[in-house]
Structure 1
Amino acid sequence: MNQFDINFDYQHIWHPYSSMINPLPCYSVVSAKGVYLKLNNGKKIIDGMSSWWSAIHGYNHPILNKALKKQIKKMSHVMFGGITHPSATALARKLIYLTPKNLDCVFFSDSGSVAIEVAIKMLIQYWQALGQKRKIFLTFRHGYHGDTFAAMSVSDPKNSIHKIYNHFLPKNFFADSPISSFHDKWNENDLLSFQKIIKTHSSKIAGVILEPIVQGVGGMKFYHPKCLKKIKILCDYYSIPLIFDEIATGFGRTGKLFAFEHANIVPDILCLGKAITAGTLTLAVTISSRNIADTISNSKVGCFMHGPTYMGNPLACAVANANIKILQKNEWKIQVSKIEKQLCQDLLPLLNHKNVVDVRILGAIGVVECMRIVNIESIQKFFVKNGVWIRPFKQLIYIVPPYIINSKELSILTKSIKEALDNPLFFI
């Protein structure tokens, strides 16, 4: 990209969480292959973010590309209203096979946030069908579920990036987030706040929605599996449906195919996205139990009132099918295990660093929590110069690399983090 194009970009294109007056620097990527992004100046940088958790097999994967080419020769898109097609049917069949038995009704959408919207709307309709007007949801503080309105309403109203919209959003219940970390001893007091809310307001609560095990944008914290087990018991006791938001964690990122498997429990609704197409096209799904689907379908309305234009997009479904075939070879388990082991070796020693509060590792996720807020502009210039792409936020420098990354490439990422910590100019 030449200077003219850069200026046009800065003047006319919105980028995520950036200003149109003082935009953050943008780096022009002209191609990508494996774990590398190629910039317009010819420099190759290692992607430590998997394009925000999604490109789990890296870029330009031949099997994924082949699936896309094969499908586009037939059709790239067709409406899903009154029409179906083999790619969607095959994908639904695969998803039902991969997920627990009670999850067997698949609703396609085109982004993770919309998958959350769909789940919330499902439960509102579910309770209406049962003759109750429940519309309040229970979740944890420090949670994040997306940028659309219903998704924002169940994200932390005080500690999230959405607090400026609070006066527009529906009011939900927020319990204290669990303190017991994934690898620590479980503390029964962690759920006192949650227990109190669900006991007091059980007749008002339409559903519980959680990010299982990993709280993402809310702080990249990994909480104890027993927390989920206890919550499942409470939800069953009060007959309140449980939604799991696995948009970020689904398809192997935590070392399990789905993060809720760490707790050996099953939700009533499961939301998936991001890595479902391995970072090739946008696609998401909301998978519900048969009970929820039938209750909605047997209501006075007689159907679920939602239908995105690109629902069940054939191109996205075709590449998602190819992605799942790759995952079913189970190489990802070995890959993620190796990444976790090396992240422990490379990053855990940083616990002794003067600028570090904590280091957290789970599966192919490595998090370094810093003493101060990271200066994104200056630290990214450093990272790119060092040949890596890492996008910190707030006080967190974290990496979620593609599963195919090798030890040498991963070392370059972790070494860059270590070096960045030593420079006080990278922190505010």
Structure 2
Amino acid sequence: MVSPELYRLEYDREHILHPYAPSNPPSNMTFVKSAKGVYLELENGQKIIDAMSSWWSVIHGYNVESLNTAAVEQLTKMSHVMFGGITHEPAIKLAQKLIEITDKHLERVFFSDSGSVAVEVALKMAFQYWNSQGNSQKNKILAFSKGYHGDTFGAMSVCDPITGMHSAFEGILHKNIFADSPGCPYGAKWDEKYISDFASKLEQNHKEIAAVIIEPIVQGAGGMNIYSPSFLKSVRALCNKYDVLLILDEIATGFGRTGKLFAYEYANISPDILCVGKALTGGYMSLAATLTSKKVMQGVEANGNVLMHGPTFMANPLACAVANASLELLLNSPWKEKIQNIQTQLNEELTKCEALTIVKAVRTLGAIGVVELHEEVDLDFMTPAFIKEGVWVRPFLNLVYIMPPFVITKEELTHLTSAIFTVVKAYECYKANEKKV
């Protein structure tokens, strides 16, 4: 007789699609039945540390009392109401807080239900900004190699066409322009050569470029590339020179992840449009926002136009209420000290991975740790190996990386970094034996 657990896993394998995975995969998913703090509890009772913050969003850990309370209290009032012609307190409060904590030029907030859609809205803003003023020639975006901005069609069109996971759609995506990825490592001496390709592309094509889009300081899913703030400063200066809007995608980096509340603060610049999401609700539910300036919206609305977007769940009250509680929890905590402590510990404890021949580089910033290998990882090897060590790490490409919850303790983080060294070392032996065979 098949156990209930096995039946559920088999049903999942046969019928449910998971991200970036084949239908009916050769192995079952990892079954999580509950979560608390930094731990995921598996169906068999094992507790493992979530090093990924559920794709970078669960900054406070799981099952947080104040966020639970905010959700329950809002549920007793209304879980959802349309935003067309209607407004409500959670949305107003959240907009006020976002305007308060972001750059002073960002005065308009558009709420959406995912990071990808926040990017779609930003692209629409940029195109409508120029089109509403009679400049339809500006119909392209200048993006970057190794960039990743989401999986919807507009977002896919500004992801790296090679590493952005969207090559299957190349023939039907809007054709944009790509510059070399930022090549000046964080902390390295600045040289103008690093910006030459971007400067050249912008100079040659600025008459048809509506906006530049970039992930500030850390390119995430495109390769965990951590680059110099000087590069971002130069991007801003060149956008000003050629009268092109600058979109900053802070969906992964926002709300303290890099050690600053927003990563653009490292370069002391102002975006024209800012996208935030992921950690906005502390990982409780999907919510994102696109912020822009009064100037941009006046451009969009020239000649009686309006921004043409309106999701059904725009400014969902339940999500906004939890986001308000999450921001309050973050801003009233010693988050800067926590992130600095995490970075210091990651620097000290991940460095030993550099002794392994399979490791190409180790880099950290804030609560981000990256161990880059010389070859792509094998998830069938690494996933069970990490679970055996009591941690959940989800590598991709040739990267073993972590973005732990900010509430992780020193002991829990040591457990995590030790597991990375152990598994990567075992993987090195595994690959060496495989090559011998």
State the TM-score, normalizing by the size of structure 1. 0.98
Could you say what the CA RMSD is over the residues aligned between the two structures, in angstroms?
Answer: 1.2
Native 8 Å contact 2:113 2:313 kept in 1: yes
In 2, Cα distance between the equivalents of 1:426 and 1:374?
A: 11
The gaps in structure 2 that reach 5 residues or longer are: none
Q: Paired residue for 2:225, among 221, 239, 244?
A: 221
CA shift, 1:386, in A, is 1.2
Q: Paired residue for 2:367, among 350, 364, 367?
A: 364
Number of the residue aligned with 1:104: 107
Letter in 1 for 2:102: T
Number of the residue aligned with 1:78: 81
Letter in 1 for 2:292: S
CA shift, 1:426, in A, is 5.6
Please show how residues 269-288 of structure 1 align to structure 2 within 5 Å. 269-288=273-292
How big is each residue's C-alpha offset from its partner over 1:254-313, in whole Å with a ceiling of 9 and x where there is no partner? 00000000000010000000000000010000001111111222334x211100000000
CA shift, 1:324, in A, is 0.9
In 2, Cα distance between the equivalents of 1:115 and 1:414?
A: 33
Letter in 2 for 1:345: E
**SS at the partner of 1:422?**
helix
Number of the residue aligned with 2:297: 293
Q: Paired residue for 1:175, among 155, 173, 179?
A: 179
CA shift, 1:21, in A, is 3.4
Please show how residues 183-202 of structure 1 align to structure 2 within 5 Å. 183-202=187-206
How big is each residue's C-alpha offset from its partner over 1:97-130, in whole Å with a ceiling of 9 and x where there is no partner? 0011110100000000000000001111111111
In 2, Cα distance between the equivalents of 1:216 and 1:228?
A: 15
How big is each residue's C-alpha offset from its partner over 1:315-350, in whole Å with a ceiling of 9 and x where there is no partner? 000010011111211411111111101000100222
Number of the residue aligned with 2:380: 377
Number of the residue aligned with 1:120: 123
Native 8 Å contact 2:33 2:42 kept in 1: yes
How big is each residue's C-alpha offset from its partner over 1:143-180, in whole Å with a ceiling of 9 and x where there is no partner? 00000011000001122211121111111110111211
The alignment status of 1:49 with 2:52, answered yes or no, reads yes
Q: Paired residue for 1:413, among 409, 412, 416?
A: 416
In 1, Cα distance between the equivalents of 2:207 and 2:302?
A: 22
Comparing 13-22 with 241-250, which one deviates more in the overlay? 13-22
How big is each residue's C-alpha offset from its partner over 1:372-395, in whole Å with a ceiling of 9 and x where there is no partner? 211112211011111100000011
Comparing 247-256 with 125-134, which one deviates more in the overlay? 125-134
Number of the residue aligned with 1:257: 261
Q: How many residues align?
A: 427
In 1, Cα distance between the equivalents of 2:86 and 2:48?
A: 43
In 1, Cα distance between the equivalents of 2:28 and 2:195?
A: 42
Native 8 Å contact 2:219 2:226 kept in 1: yes
CA shift, 1:352, in A, is 2.3
In 2, Cα distance between the equivalents of 1:325 and 1:142?
A: 33
In 2, Cα distance between the equivalents of 1:393 and 1:24?
A: 17
The alignment status of 1:245 with 2:249, answered yes or no, reads yes
In 2, Cα distance between the equivalents of 1:297 and 1:195?
A: 30
Letter in 2 for 1:280: Y
Native 8 Å contact 1:375 1:426 kept in 2: no
CA shift, 1:23, in A, is 4.7
The alignment status of 1:145 with 2:149, answered yes or no, reads yes
Native 8 Å contact 1:76 1:315 kept in 2: yes
Letter in 2 for 1:247: I
State the TM-score, normalizing by the size of structure 2. 0.96
Please show how residues 201-220 of structure 1 align to structure 2 within 5 Å. 201-220=205-224
**SS at the partner of 2:349?**
helix
Native 8 Å contact 2:10 2:28 kept in 1: no
Native 8 Å contact 2:146 2:222 kept in 1: yes
The alignment status of 1:323 with 2:330, answered yes or no, reads no
Letter in 1 for 2:147: G
Native 8 Å contact 1:92 1:106 kept in 2: yes
**SS at the partner of 1:16?**
coil
How big is each residue's C-alpha offset from its partner over 1:161-210, in whole Å with a ceiling of 9 and x where there is no partner? 11121111111110111211112111210111101111111111010000
Native 8 Å contact 1:376 1:426 kept in 2: no
In 2, Cα distance between the equivalents of 1:277 and 1:425?
A: 41
Native 8 Å contact 1:18 1:24 kept in 2: no
Number of the residue aligned with 2:43: 40
In 2, Cα distance between the equivalents of 1:330 and 1:175?
A: 39
Letter in 2 for 1:276: L
In 1, Cα distance between the equivalents of 2:340 and 2:273?
A: 28
Evaluate the alpha carbon distance shift between residue 107 and residue 113 of structure 1 in structure 2; reply closer, same or farther with a 3 A threshold: same
In 2, Cα distance between the equivalents of 1:299 and 1:325?
A: 40
CA shift, 1:25, in A, is 3.4
**SS at the partner of 1:286?**
strand
Native 8 Å contact 2:145 2:159 kept in 1: yes
